[in-house]
Amino acid sequence: MGGVGAAARELDFPIVSGNVSLYNETSGVGILPTPTIGGVGLVADVAKTASLAFKRGGDVVLLIGGAPTWLGRSAWLATICGRDEGAPPSVDLAFERLNGVFIASLIASGEASAVHDLSDGGLAVALAEMAIAGSIGATIDQGAVVGLAHAFFFGEDQGRYVVTAKAEDAPAILAAAAKAGVAAARIGLTGGGALALPGEAPITIAALREAHESWLPHYMDGPGGELA
């Protein structure tokens, strides 16, 4: 747990509780060690917050923190390739703090209309969650993709965020990011009723919502159609 302590100190993050499951089993198979951490934060003005939901069409979609590339231990590797291997992405606490402080400044200034971090599933899943939450789609530019498309959209590198902002605010945000030493790039626009990734057929918000909300009931029904 030394890494947790180091992160708490570097990020000024108060941890108030936690739990570590080491020996639990499901159907006779042990689960991976699973630490759960409870933290607390202070919002000085609740009127100055940002949810993950896309707010309106025509907002610019920005990727903060640089292009994702890391697929080790990722949801993509496990789900698509059936492989549970590789090292997790490295953690640079100074990098985390730099990007986190910048994101907090965008929220405090009201420039960010929506904010979401990249975690399980990477950029594509973050975009899908934002579209579902706001019932607004987005189109990602072909030129936004850096490197291999599957790594860009499903990499789980640390310290990355998706931010939306009004078109007129985007240039100032990009300039402020450059001044702060934070990687930032415009990757698309919100709007419409589907999520459109380069080279792929658009996926409607209805289809995204169905996939997101139906898997648990189907899982609980079990393969025989009854509660497993």
Report the predicted TM-score, pTM, of the whole model to 2 decimal places. 0.92
Q: What is the domain partition of the chain in residue ranges?
A: 1-41, 48-216
- How sure is the predictor about 224, in pLDDT bands with cuts at 50, 70 and 90? low
Does the domain formed by 48-216 have CATH 3.30.1330.60? no
Banded pLDDT at 20 (limits 50, 70, 90): confident
| Cα atoms in the 13 Å half-sphere on the side-chain side of 180 | 22
Helices 93-109 and 2-11, packing angle to 10 deg: 40
Mean pLDDT of 191-197: 98
Nearest to 155, CA basis, from 80, 62, 53, 103: 80
* Mean pLDDT computed over every residue of the chain: 93
Greater model confidence, 222 or 152: 152
